[in-house]
Structure 1
Amino acid sequence: MQRRHFLGGLASVGLATAAHAGPYPDRSVRLICPYAAGGGPDLLCRELAPLLGGALKQSVYVENKVGAGGVLAAQYLVGQPADGYTLMLATNAHLIQKLLQPKLRFALGDFAPVGLLSTSCAVLMVAKSSPWQTVADLVNAARREPGKLNFGSGGIGTPAHIAGETLGVLGGMKAVHVPLTGSVEIPLSLMRGDTQFAFPNLGTAQQALKTGKLRALAVTSAKRVAVLPEVPTLVEALKSDQAVLEAWSGIWVHAKTPPDIVARLHTALNHAAVQPRMAEYARLTGSDLATSPSPQDFTRFVQTENTKMAEIIALSQAHTS
């Protein structure tokens, strides 16, 4: 019953009838980034904001609201006016958080999905000083000493957390999850030796690899990625399609936002996504730009992803403790 309530609100997206005065937008628009400055999602928001602003013919500025793996930002958006002036970068982490913690003070039906923006894989990383050259090396070490190795993530319920738990199940190994204050802390934690492996997103991983102090063992995409062609997929290493773990990003607004504003934002988002600046961002970070034909298509995508995330969480045996 609780899950039906969680999903049910999405069926009514596009049916809101709230009135709004004047042309939209007639003032600046906020884009809430749920994650720390300097990380992959933050960089995405800062590339997107001026392009979105250009399409809307109004300034769009980024505001970071960091906490609880994206939960703080989601709960904040629920409390904002449904007028289209507060947008949020949404990711599959928001679905994961709600699935792991059903009592959180937001439901999927509290949001109107505007459009998909990008997809990206994660990278299994270890310190360059570690003895592990392959996924098999890491898995075998963890099997020999169950519970000795730690893996870090940007917080409970983040894709990096789920990826680490999934590796444990598929690899038949036990490691300890260490939730950090944000995804930008993952590389530093590996360098310090506080954690022994982690799954930062591809954008964060690429920057971290430039230090020369970390090593990439695998990517979580279905196929190898062009920016790290020598790095195998986790599927290759574990021989399981369940090792494909890709993150996505899109834009959500308050569920009661008038449909014409949602449509206006969708058009602006798709316009921004095809600009050369975004293409260059995608090339440098290894992300794939992906847009939705309509807000309704993105809504269906989110519903499908929610079902998929529920299955992955059940597989990984992830929990909030």
Structure 2
Amino acid sequence: MNRRNFCMAASALALPMGLARSAWAASPYPNRPVRVIVPYAAGGGPDVLMRQMAPALGEALGQPIVVENKVGAAGVLAAQFVASAPADGYTLLMGSSTHLILKLLQPSLSFDPLKDFAFAGKMSTSPSILVVPSDSPYKTAAQLAAAAKAAPGKFNYGSGGVGTGAHLAASTFGALNGLQVVHIPLRGSVEITASLLRGDTQFAFPTAGTAVPQVKGGKLRALAVTSSKRLAELPDVPTWKELANDPLTVQESWSGLWAPAKTSPEIISRIHAAINTALKSPDLQAKAREGGSEVETSTSPAAFSTFVHAENGKWAEIIRKGNVTGA
């Protein structure tokens, strides 16, 4: 084959290949698997929830969902990775209240949760629970607060670390009641119950997933929950807001799917609809509840965005009121 004929043949082959690529790019979203980046270790509560949800979400989208764990810097690495990904809807972040708190505590972080993402939809929410050991003399939150106020600096509370939900809830409890209580950062949230049972700490605000089994097992006593309504698993335990009537007492960890900021509204709407369809599954709702979470969706991407911005303002006030610094 001479050079002229070879070039003509090559051009003829390249043309349909190029057309195929163009058609693929122009076909309706999604036309290939979608990655969801989970900022937490495999096997943890959020990871389990996402993996349980992935098949239903994939069915609703019409493409498989690939769950990928990207652990590091308490969720920062995952957020930075997705923020810099192509804004085509194929790389999403399991974003959460934690990302807002991280940025508020560390303004120098190289991602901005409010500017670098488009918010597709809410997926779940999980409160913390104010607990004391089951043999504690304190039967109510008011009794605990009164005892701590009468003994400044003598009451300790544990958490999984600075800036965690357990830390912020307890610092708010101290601030609202005018208490001088000592924060004991532990090696992780799994240490909270052991610390209480040893007597190293007198109270704590572990997540519902950690606390409910210990309360039902008789090791801990629940005094209040930080959710907006009472938990079905602990219907006799009042919400903290019932007791204090302050909006800052509603402190729930939540998660949702975020995409890079310039993702088109059409793609965001498609993802939102798939989230809401997937989360209608009674089985998935039951599994979430078993893990200490409640399935909770948003009515629209705009509503979820409004929620995230409002939460950012609330967490900023919680951090300010509790005089919490650095993460």
- Shorter-chain TM-score range: 0.7 to 0.9
Match for residue 175 of structure 2? 169
2:246 paired with 1:234: no
Structure 2 residue aligned with 1:30, among 25, 29, 35?
35
Match for residue 104 of structure 1? 109
Unaligned runs of 5+ in 2: 1-23
Aligned-partner Cα distance in 1 for 2:67–2:158: 27
Pair 1:178–1:59, CA change in 2 (3 A): farther
**What RMSD, in angstroms, separates the aligned Cα atoms of the two structures?**
2.8
1:266-277 to 2 correspondence within 5 Å?
A: 266-277=272-283
Question: Contact 1:36/1:66 (CA < 8 Å) preserved in 2?
Answer: yes
Pair 1:251–1:213, CA change in 2 (3 A): same
Question: Contact 2:248/2:314 (CA < 8 Å) preserved in 1?
Answer: no
Structure 2 residue aligned with 1:260, among 266, 269, 293?
266
Aligned-partner Cα distance in 2 for 1:159–1:174: 19
Match for residue 77 of structure 1? 82
Percentage of identical aligned residues: 55
Greater shift, 246-255 or 81-90, is seen at 81-90
Question: Contact 1:126/1:197 (CA < 8 Å) preserved in 2?
Answer: yes
Aligned-partner Cα distance in 1 for 2:233–2:80: 35
Equivalent position amino acid for 2:123 in 1? L
Pair 1:136–1:55, CA change in 2 (3 A): same
Aligned-partner Cα distance in 2 for 1:257–1:66: 24
Pair 1:290–1:64, CA change in 2 (3 A): same
Structure 2 residue aligned with 1:213, among 219, 228, 239?
219
Aligned-partner Cα distance in 1 for 2:220–2:107: 36
Structure 2 residue aligned with 1:319, among 318, 322, 325?
325
Pair 1:20–1:296, CA change in 2 (3 A): farther
Aligned-partner Cα distance in 1 for 2:300–2:186: 36
Match for residue 117 of structure 1? 123
Greater shift, 246-255 or 208-217, is seen at 208-217
2:140 paired with 1:134: yes
Match for residue 12 of structure 1? none
Aligned-partner Cα distance in 2 for 1:61–1:212: 39
Pair 1:90–1:100, CA change in 2 (3 A): same
2:69 paired with 1:64: yes
In the alignment of these two chains, the number of paired residues is 303
SS in 1 for 2:241: helix
1:174 Cα deviation after fit: 2.0
Question: Contact 1:122/1:245 (CA < 8 Å) preserved in 2?
Answer: yes
SS in 1 for 2:175: helix
Equivalent position amino acid for 2:37 in 1? I
Question: Contact 2:85/2:91 (CA < 8 Å) preserved in 1?
Answer: yes
TM-score, scaled relative to structure 1: 0.81
Pair 1:204–1:82, CA change in 2 (3 A): farther
TM-score, scaled relative to structure 2: 0.80
Pair 1:152–1:251, CA change in 2 (3 A): farther
Structure with greater Cα Rg:
2
1:163 Cα deviation after fit: 0.8
Pair 1:247–1:263, CA change in 2 (3 A): same
- Which deviations, in whole Å up to 9, do the C-alpha atoms of 1:239-292 show, x marking residues without a partner? 545323233221112213343332221121111111222232355456443322
1:287-306 to 2 correspondence within 5 Å?
A: 287-306=293-312
Structure 2 residue aligned with 1:250, among 256, 265, 269?
256
Pair 1:49–1:197, CA change in 2 (3 A): farther
Unaligned runs of 5+ in 1: 1-18
Match for residue 10 of structure 2? none
SS in 1 for 2:30: coil
Equivalent position amino acid for 2:35 in 1? R
Equivalent position amino acid for 1:90 in 2? G
Question: Contact 1:39/1:184 (CA < 8 Å) preserved in 2?
Answer: no
1:189 Cα deviation after fit: 4.1
Aligned-partner Cα distance in 2 for 1:195–1:311: 26
1:194 Cα deviation after fit: 4.7
Equivalent position amino acid for 2:268 in 1? V
1:45 Cα deviation after fit: 1.6
1:144 Cα deviation after fit: 3.6
SS in 2 for 1:109: coil
Q: Name segments (4+ residues, structure 1) moved above 6 Å.
A: none
Aligned-partner Cα distance in 2 for 1:152–1:299: 32
Pair 1:240–1:292, CA change in 2 (3 A): closer
